[in-house]
Structure 1
Amino acid sequence: MNAEQITQGRRQPTAQEFRDMQASPEFGELRSKFRSFAFPMTVAFFLWYVVYVLVASFASEWMATPVFGAINIGLIFGFLQFVTTFVITYIYVMFANKNLEPRQAAIRQKMEG
């Protein structure tokens, strides 16, 4: 191991070690766990957004229906888009802390020593 391979007390893996790790079962499991969350959540949010756009386009009179004061259904739907974003972010952080971080830490430890 030369000086270039040690960075701030950690070993710098070689390019071949990165390729080997990418092909490893541990990395495959990490990638699978991430995708099992990210793809369905992305599709769900995208569909929710498309529904919002379609309803705003084709049912604009309904979206303009007042709920209270100057607040109408369209504003509530728009606000819910932001709420959904924050909820998904929170759920992802909880999921990542429980399911991804331990796997990432194990891979990092194996790679850097």
Structure 2
Amino acid sequence: MDEDVVRERDARAYEAVHDAADFKELKRRYKNFVVPWTITFMVWYLAYVACNNWARGFMNTEVIGNINVALVFGLLQFVSTFVIAALYGRFANRKLDPLAAGLNAKFKRERRR
């Protein structure tokens, strides 16, 4: 098959998927999850950095033995990253993947035309 014909067919298929209401819904759902969680994580991270710079007395407070607030906050950075990743995985499986599968099927149908 001619390469130009394949490109033309692929371009039409991509346009059909891009124009689909499900694609717009997929983008909306993705943004509605990612933007708030990104902002939340960045605020949490910047608060941690700010406290390390300007609230050293608080961050040096011992919690248990030699474990201080700074160490706990640092470990919570890792925990929060994994929690957000797990929440995203669950969200994607329930809300994004079904739409994406439908769009993938639509793309394949359009490509065969």
Residue 61 (1) aligns with residue 57 (2) = yes
* Residue number among 9, 13, 29 corresponding to 1:33 in the alignment: 29
The 3-state SS of whatever aligns with 2:16 is helix
* Residue matched to 1:81: 77
Residue 18 of structure 1: aligned partner: 14
Equivalents in 2 of 1:86, 1:28: separation in Å? 28
One-letter amino acid of the counterpart of residue 16, structure 1 = R
**Residues paired across the two proteins, number:** 104
User: Pairwise mapping of residues 101-112 of structure 1 onto structure 2 (< 5 A)?
Assistant: 101-112=97-108
Structure 2 unaligned spans of 5+: 4-8
Alignment RMSD (CA, Å): 1.5
Query: Which structure carries more relative contact order (alpha carbon 8 Å, separation 6+)?
Result: 2
One-letter amino acid of the structure 2 residue matched with residue 97 of structure 1: N
**Stretches of 4+ moved more than 3 A in 1?**
none
Distance 1:108 1:20 in 2: 11
CA 1:95 to 1:72, structure 2 compared with 1: closer, same or farther past 3 Å? Answer: same
Name the structure where helix makes up a greater proportion of residues.
2
Percent identity of equivalent pairs:
38
TM-score, normalisation: structure 1: 0.85
Any stretches of 5+ residues in structure 1 without a counterpart?
5-12
